[in-house]
Amino acid sequence: MGDHLEKDQHALLNEGEENEMEIFGYRTHGCRQTLCLAGSIFSFGILPWVFYWRPAWHVWANCVPCCLQEADVVLLRTTDEFKTYSWKKVKWICLSSLNSTFGLTPDHPLIADEEYIINRAIRKPDLKVRCIKVQKIRYVWNNLEEQFQKIGSLEDWLSSAKIHEKFGSGLTGEEQEIRRLICGPNTIDVEITPVWKLLIKEVLNPFYIFQLFSVCLWFNEDYKEYALAIIIMSAISIAFTVYDLREQSVKLHNLVESHNCIPVSVCGRKAGVQELESRLLVPGDLLILTGNKVQMPCDAVLIDGSCVVDEGMLTGESIPVTKMPLPKMDSSVPWKTQSEADYKRHVLFCGTEVIQAKAASSGMVRAVVLQTGFNTAKGDLVRSILYPKPMNFKLYRDAISFLLCLVGTATIGMIYTLCVFVLSKEPLEEVVKKALDVITIAVPPALPAALTTGIIYAQKRLKKKGIFCISPQRINVCGQLNLVCFDKTGTLTRDGLDLWGVVPCDGNGFQEVHSFASGKALPWGPLCAAMASCHSLILLDGTIQGDPLDLKMFEATTWEMAISGDDFHLKGVPAQALVVKPCSTASQVPVEGIAILHQFPFSSALQRMTVIVQEMGGGRLVFMKGAPERVGSFCQPETVPTSFVSELQIYTTQGFRVIALAYKKLDDDSHTTAWTREEVESNLIFLGLLILENRLKEETKPVLEELISARIRTVMITGDNLQTAITVARKSGMVSESQKIILIEANETTGSSSAAISWKSVEEKKHIPYGNQDNYINIREEVSDNGRERSYHFALSGKSFHVISQHFSSLLPKILINGTVFARMSPGQKSNLVEEFQKLDYFVGMCGDGANDCGALKMAHVGISLSEQEASVASPFTSKTPNIECVPHLIKEGRAALVTSFCMFKYMALYSMIQYVGVLLLYWETNSLSNYQFLFQDLAITTLIGVTMNLSGAYPKLVPFRPAGRLISPPVLLSVIFNILLSLAMHIVGFLLVQRQPWYSMEMHSACTVKNESLLIYPTAPESNGTNSAFTSFENTTIWFLGTINCIIVALIFSKGKPFRQPTYTNYVFVLLLIVQLGVCLFILFADIPDLYRRFDLVCTPVLWRVYIIVMLSFNFIVSLIVEEAIIENRALWMIIKRCCGYHSKSQYRIWQRDLANDPSWPPINQTSYSDMPGCGSGVSYSNPVFESNEEQL
């Protein structure tokens, strides 16, 4: 329903964006609503419960389709593979209240200009706006374009001139009022979800509803002991889940709480500057930034003055960033694309901290509000946490199939029960009870509690290792990881950079390296002056702050920093300028100091920064610092040494970070603002190279070696330089010395030439060997020595990744199969890369330490944060130990938890089927198990086993294969089916054999020897000896003993040890429990205690028959153990079967690996391809749902 739609009834919301949705228009129908209300009453609440889980059904039942313009309800469906439905009511915003405030009328000039979405949304003449709120974002109905559009942001088409002209003087009070009503408050509201709401949501889970049904039935049958046990276990399970969700809610609320009440100064067009609360801000407001240490409550574009901002919330690194004002240009080009430099250098993002605001000629630092509320950078981060992409882990889908199979089995049992008891002319009430009993026997109500127990134990073990988890269900997913992405800086390497040395340059080429380790000061000269002044450091409260690289460089000069006071008089130098001076101990420095007049800040797009300085008692100079290749291109060719490339390669291949420095003298004394960047950055003189070292963390190499030996792919995603990243990959062992790296460079379409991609091998110089080279980066189904020798890795930058995604999408999967180093990646590109890996059916883990990794941490199947900041809120796992040792720990625990879940599913299935088979056999005789017999099996045996079986910890070694990821896989199915058939056969043999015994009699309820006459029980006087003749029979006794002891046997057989869990014998509690349970059962079997037999409704049988029962159980145990160990757990046998059957994994990455292994032309080395060449275009080469893996892991 809903597929055959009128054109006007269906549209796309957020087209082309990550949160794209389909939207359908509906109108409520009175008659339908009445019928649904009646249905809800007569179904005793079942219908509303169904509608709760199926929102689309709710809309289809209550409403009729209509065009979106007339809709009062909209149905939303995500366009991803999950097709998740939700519905929203269309609400009205009335502007008529403003009529009395300032006389707003339909023809008022403020709402006449239909250039802006806000004005297009106002319906005239009644001055109303239709809106919906989806995932915290408000959308209004655009009457002109007849579609819902996002509100709360300035339009992207605005040019810089338009922003200066329209918003440069602020908004009038009337405009602010209109915008406040339509856009809503500037708040990031994350309410702490009340416990009762979380509780209701959890309790409405279908399985808990089934438990409620079971408990009610058991109370009716006076089976209250186990009913109470299930209630207690379920209550603990629910409480645990609710506590976790509540903790997340509180944590997120605390993160954003302070955002909503920041005092701000806003300049109005008529009202002037006034103090407001930040929640009253609207897009287009003119913010006046005053003072230091100001939290940004919104996204704003700087139009006057400059700011130093701490963007730690976005980048993960608390490095001050200088923001420059948006220049006013005559062009009508949108302001974001008017310059080659990144537009973000003009934007102050919400959640970041303005450390310092520097006024320009106007005397004020002014910024125009761009986005408010959840539209902001911080709002987007919070929304990604509130509305994560659903996780479609196959284990959970298989669990539903597993339960449906049990329901199907129960249905067959119900039909059988009805037939047997109706033919036996039993009372109707008894027939219904017995039939319903079958459902509670076949579908184990204790399953959720047992599974939750396993997750709780795993969570506790992780906590002991300093790994905290806010999404416990993801622990199982950790067991399937086969690719882990790592951030570099702060994750694989140490946070800071150490200054190793400087290589000066003169007319004859490079000179000897000046090492700072010797403690010898760098001699005075332009190079020393450049190091002292070419930086973006600031002096705040007497402390020097800024980029660690700049800080190390400045500290190496031993100079000091100060702010020029009012008494400072030097031509062209403004008051409050930054001045660097040689320290008092420095000798032979001919200048008193250097004043920094103007900065052209560093930009990753431009890869350089430049400063204009004034020497005290000297002239003006220009200094530039940046990527060596870029700096060299701005220098006079004759000043760049001929050995420049080779010298640079010497250091970059050893993993050093290399920065080049250059300078020139300025002859002109004109004001610094008169200079353009192009004029300043020309004809420079090359000064030399600054060498910095980024050391690996001690734990990095052994951890990566452990992962690689376990055939888990490791990938580096970093914002750092490509060459440095390649070297770190080499040094860390991510790429071994025997493997080659192929550098991929892709360039956008320029002029007449189409987009191009080139491949070249990176020649590496041999350094210290890195231990064991036997690694498996190229995971194949069978890795041969020849394949290992041919292994290679691709390395590329974020720019190349973007071009490949746009113009060479058919090559992307081929590149990703062997892509290992991804450098200069933006936060968005990190998320995209993780998603692309998921499309290839990898189970992806992401380990990072900063908020710039938040998107990738959230997108990955498993995100591991090494930070306690925002990243830890976005990430399911947070490690208190700031290194990657947590990754193998997590994978080991994940594998153990996954195997435990499988053991529990299998055990619960067998326990249910054992009881089910036994009860159905007894039903044939219109008999059953008594309440105490059920209670002993359910509580004393199964519940205790369910609680203790999960206690086994993870195996300490990572093996080079993963546990099965699916319940519906041949080994698991074979194991369950074989054991069910074996148990069925044993029960049937016991049931039939007992009836053929010479001592068997329907009249006599005991067959003990003459010595045990006191145990003789006759049916003629059941009340006198306290037995219940409805249950006591030889069949009942035989079936109960067989079933009860079989439950213990199955628990031992299904409790797996190596290679994913500790051996079973190390789980002392579990082993002791099995011994005690078996001992109790054998005691009851052989004890001959009349009161005990009466209590359990058992009858006495000859000792020989009891021995027969033990023989049957022993045979069952031996056969089951042999089959389980020799066939089910025999991985080599399953590999042979796969090979004989010609089975190949259907995972996308396996398919591509096989194709590429047979392609002699791959990889193309030293070649260039163009997007207009055949086979290199953007054809769709693969399409597979994210978060799925079709691989059958055996």
Q: Please identify every residue annotated as catalytic.
A: 487
Residue 342: strand, helix, or coil: coil
C-alpha 2/C-alpha 5 separation (Å) is 6
DSSP designation for 755: P
Three-state SS at 140: strand
Say what the alpha-carbon torsion angle 530, 531, 534, 540 is, to the nearest 10 degrees.
-140
Assess contact for 561 and 585: CB atoms under 8 A: no
Answer for the pair 653, 764: CB distance below 8 angstroms, yes or no.
Answer: yes
Token pair, residue 57, equals 């059904």
Here the tokens at position 233 are 């276990």
CB atoms within 10 A of CB 841: 24
C-beta separation of 984 from 917 below 8 A: yes
Residues 692 and 724: their CA atoms lie apart, in Å, by 11
Radius of gyration, alpha carbons of the chain: 37
Amino acid at 86: S
Distance from the first to the final alpha carbon of the chain: 40
Beta strands in 507-556 (DSSP E): 509-510, 514-515, 538-540, 543-545
Calculate the CA 1122 to chain-centre distance: 41
**Helix or strand or coil: residue 1054?**
helix
CA dist 28 to 63, 141, 172, 829, Å? 4, 19, 40, 43
Return d(Cα 59, Cα 737) in angstroms, integer. 61
d(CA 152, CA 131): 12
Q: Output helix, strand, coil percentages for the chain, rounded to the nearest 5.
A: 45, 20, 35
Which residue stretches of 1055-1140 are H helix? 1068-1086, 1090-1095, 1103-1123, 1131-1140
Task: Find tokens 């520097």 and name the residue.
Answer: 358
Residue 629 contacts residue 665 (beta carbons within 8 Å) = no
Looking up tokens 């630092």, which residue turns up? Answer: 365
SS (H, E, C) 633-689: HCECHHHCCCCHHHHHHHHHCCCEEEEEEEEEEECCCCCHHHCCHHHHCCCEEEEEE
Residue 1176's alpha-carbon distances to 406, 441, 1162, in angstroms, are 50, 59, 14
> Burial, 992: exposed, middle or buried (Cβ in 10 Å; 0-12, 13-18, 19+)?
exposed
Residue 369, C-beta contacts closer than 8 angstroms, at least 6 positions apart:
154, 186, 281, 282, 283, 284, 285, 286, 287, 298, 299, 300
In 3D space, the residue among 485, 482, 473 whose CA is nearest the CA of residue 962 turns out to be: 482
Rounded to 10°, the helix 1034-1054/1068-1086 angle is 160
Burial class, 681, CB count within 10 angstroms (exposed 0-12 / middle 13-18 / buried 19+): buried
Can you tell me the distance from the alpha carbon of 151 to that of 117, in angstroms, rounded to the nearest whole number? 8
CA neighbor of 497 nearest in space, from 545, 424, 544, 548: 548
**How many Å apart are CA 920 and CA 931, to the nearest integer?**
16
Cα 337 from Cα 329, distance rounded (Å): 12
